[in-house]
Amino acid sequence: MKITLERYHGLGNDYLVFDPNKNELKLNKENVEMLCNRNMGLGSDGILEGPFIGEKHMSLKIWNPDGSIAEKSGNGVRIFAKYLKDAGYVQKKNYKLVTDGGLVEITYLNEDGSRLRISMGKMSFWSDEVPVTGERREVINEDMVFGRTLYPVTCVSVGNPHCVIPMREISKPLVCKIGNYSEVARYFPERINTEIMKVIDNNNISIETFERGAGYTMATGTGACAAAGVAYKLGLTGNKVIVHMPGGELQVEIDENWDVYMTGEVFYVAKICLSNEFVEKLRAL
């Protein structure tokens, strides 16, 4: 049986969709790493495995390129929602999808499903929910050391953990320098995603991201939500912002209960059929 995957990207953040209902291959850490390898495999920022059909809702498993599991991905969820429409699993305008980071509500904003609004759930700044070590408190503007440099850090969970650092100037080299230390810092028992954020005005911010298990990425949905939430929490912006990233823009809105909503586009790239030789290598791992 042929193994096929679908490639999509959301603002340059690219994922492979692996449908277990159409493929006879069990994914694991080793073969996910090979598939995501940009020299020896297909290359990807991760794999979206699903749908798994439940009694009430369909569910999704999100693999990082290092073979670890991500609780939630904003770009991944939007891409997977587009796949569900493309593959005929979903006909409705609104539905709910289960992720390891909680239930998300999806709304298609156009006919082909390429523009979507996602309810990403409730944000939390509490240390035990992010998680961050130490006594229970909201982790707001705390001094943390990454690579012998002190930074003012605010931590938030949007179904997965983030630390956000407001800065006057941001860049790819800088977030990579910080992220190499912050991802595995002693403060974060489950590792963490890192965003450095520049506030442009009351309605616009820009970010650079170093993702846990993936490294530098051109865009991030959960990271955009986290940064927007931190900017609002610190009084730097209003509750509705456009988040600018190297891969493009996302609209983020936070309501009075700290529920966060994200709006953006995704794009279908290709259907990929793996060679028999490559499939045998994957099966052997």
Annotated binding site for substrate: 13, 64, 74-75, 160, 193, 211-212, 221-222
| Cβ-based neighbour number of residue 279 at 10 Å | 18
* Max CA distance (Å), the chain: 56
User: What is the per-residue DSSP string for 56-67?
Assistant: S-EEEEEE-TTS
Strands 58-63 and 94-99: parallel
| Rounded distance between C-alpha atoms, residue 58 and residue 225, angstroms | 23
**Alpha carbon separation from 61 to 73, 111, 227 (Å, rounded):** 10, 26, 24
Q: Within 13 Å, how many C-alpha atoms sit on residue 141's CB side?
A: 6
Reported as type and span, the H/E element at residue 75 is helix 74-86
> Taking Cα atoms as reference points, which of 199, 257, 256 lies closest to residue 228?
199
| Rounded distance between C-alpha atoms, residue 267 and residue 210, angstroms | 22
3-state secondary structure string across 29-56: HHHHHHHHCCCCCCCCCCEEEEEEECCC
| Rounded distance between C-alpha atoms, residue 217 and residue 15, angstroms | 12
> Taking Cα atoms as reference points, which of 236, 206, 240 lies closest to residue 223?
206
45 forms bridges with which residues in the sheet? none
* Residues placed in the known binding site: 13, 64, 74-75, 160, 193, 211-212, 221-222
